[in-house]
């Protein structure tokens, strides 16, 4: 079944994961990346930015509801 037919939001949820991955990569390629090398959890600011991007794309600002047009 497609996401539209079953009402699943798995696709949009994956996009928040992709956003955090992209933001993580950007931290690794910064000029002082050697201090970021290793396995670690992203800072709260990175997670917050990914969440803000996701909310602005997939949630109607007025109603607070998930929207499928994204």
pLDDT digits (tens, 9 = 90+) for 14-49: 888 888 898 888 877 776 656 656 677 888 998 999
Half-sphere exposure of 33 (CA within 13 A, CB side): 10
Instruction: Report pLDDT for 70.
Output: 47
CA distance 35 to 27: 10
How far apart (Å, rounded) are the C-alpha atoms in residues 13 and 57? 11
**What pTM did the predictor assign?**
0.62
| H/E segment holding residue 54 | helix 44-58
């Amino acid at each position: 079944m497609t996401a539209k037919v079953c009402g699943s939001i798995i696709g949009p949820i994956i996009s928040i994961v992709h956003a955090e991955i992209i933001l993580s990569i950007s931290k690794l390629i910064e000029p002082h990346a050697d201090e970021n090398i290793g396995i670690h959890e992203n800072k709260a600011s990175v997670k917050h930015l990914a969440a803000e991007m996701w909310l602005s794309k997939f949630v109607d600002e007025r109603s607070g509801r998930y929207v499928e047009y994204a």
